[in-house]
Amino acid sequence: MKDAIANLFRVLKPGGLALFRDYAEDDLAQQRLAKKQSKKIGHNFMARGDGTRAYYFPLEEAAHLWAAGGFLVEDNKLALKDEGNTAFKHGERRFVQGRYRKPRR
């Protein structure tokens, strides 16, 4: 993640805006995967059934990563979505969502 943020910082013009949205800690998918201990790789780091991996960000960690990469944190919040459209899938989806700006020098 640090490399991706550093690359964005390098290519964005001064004053440029980076938008970020990813899974947040305690997301419904993380809760489901946590029940299967074999799926846990590390703290907030899980393997899905298809072999892909997912990291579930604590809100503060996302802000810290972007700030450490030289960005100004304009907005860093939790976006919540209730997923209750079927009897099988019911719960709260949680996402870290933020706006981070490269300083104008």
CB 100 within 8 A of CB 24: no
pLDDT of residue 51: 82
Q: What tens digit of pLDDT does each residue of 3-47 get?
A: 999 999 999 999 999 999 999 988 888 888 877 766 778 888 888
pLDDT of residue 16: 97
Single pTM value for the model = 0.80
Q: What tens digit of pLDDT does each residue of 72-97 get?
A: 999 999 998 877 666 556 678 899 99
102: how many CB neighbours lie within 10 A of its CB? 20
Q: Which residue has the tokens 């944190």?
A: 73
3-state SS, residue 17: strand
What would the DSSP string read from start to end of 19-76?
EEEEEBTT-HHHHHHHTSGGGEEETTEEE-TTS-EEE-B-HHHHHHHHHHTT-EEEEE
Q: What tens digit of pLDDT does each residue of 56-74 get?
A: 899 999 999 999 999 999 9
